Amino acid sequence: MGGTNTLTGCTSTNLATVGVTVNPLPVVTASITNSVVCFGGNSTLNGGGANTYTWNPVAPNATPFTPTVSTIYTVTGTSTLTGCTSTNLATAPVTVNPLPVVTASITNSVVCAGFTTAVNGGGANTYTWNPVVVNGATFTPHCKSSLHSYWNKYFNWLYQHKSSNSVTNG
């Protein structure tokens, strides 16, 4: 670069130079483990291509978290070496499915020895009964069935805890 003094009209004979370093911008990527979860399940967002990451909506990077709604997470990244922040936005979608609300019914809750009943689950696609029975199929309960024992234990537990203001399952 050269210069002229406007008061004297003199022009410099030396040339001055400056250097400019242009640092590249990081190009961030996004990945997710468990992109489809049931409500209460965990996912992990992972940013790549930079050193530090900012997720929107706010979420931790490379640490499991529990998303509450389905959304698309967007990330930017910054290089700690250059201080440059990415201009590209990488995304990672997550779908949060609701938990089924199951119901249970029985065709005959009181039967004589040797007679049958059936249990029916509702609100889901598959059911696991304990003790093991087939959902919707008739079966002959034993005289002291596990269902009978379960209800006896449950009502005894309630009786023992009836003075408590709150009841917890434990």
Quick one: pLDDT band at residue 25, thresholds 50, 70, 90? very high
Q: Which of 44-48, 105-109, 113-117, 143-147 has the lowest mean pLDDT?
A: 143-147
- 75 strand-pairing partners: 55, 90
67 to each of 10, 47, 98, how far by Cα in Å?
A: 70, 17, 12
pTM over 0.85? The answer is no
* Nearby residues of 106 by Cβ (< 8 Å), 6 or more positions away: 117, 118, 119, 120
**3-state SS assignment for residue 41:** coil
- Where is mean pLDDT largest: 1-5, 81-85, 104-108, 141-145? 81-85
Q: Cα angle at 51 between 46 and 54, to 5 degrees?
A: 60
Mean pLDDT of the chain: 86
Answer whether 28's CB lies under 8 Å from 48's CB. Answer: yes
Residue 5 — pLDDT band, cuts 50, 70, 90?
Answer: confident
pLDDT surpasses 90 at 13: no
pLDDT digits (tens, 9 = 90+) for 59-68: 999 999 999 9
Of residues 123, 118, 96, 120, the one with CA closest to residue 108: 118
pLDDT at 27: 97
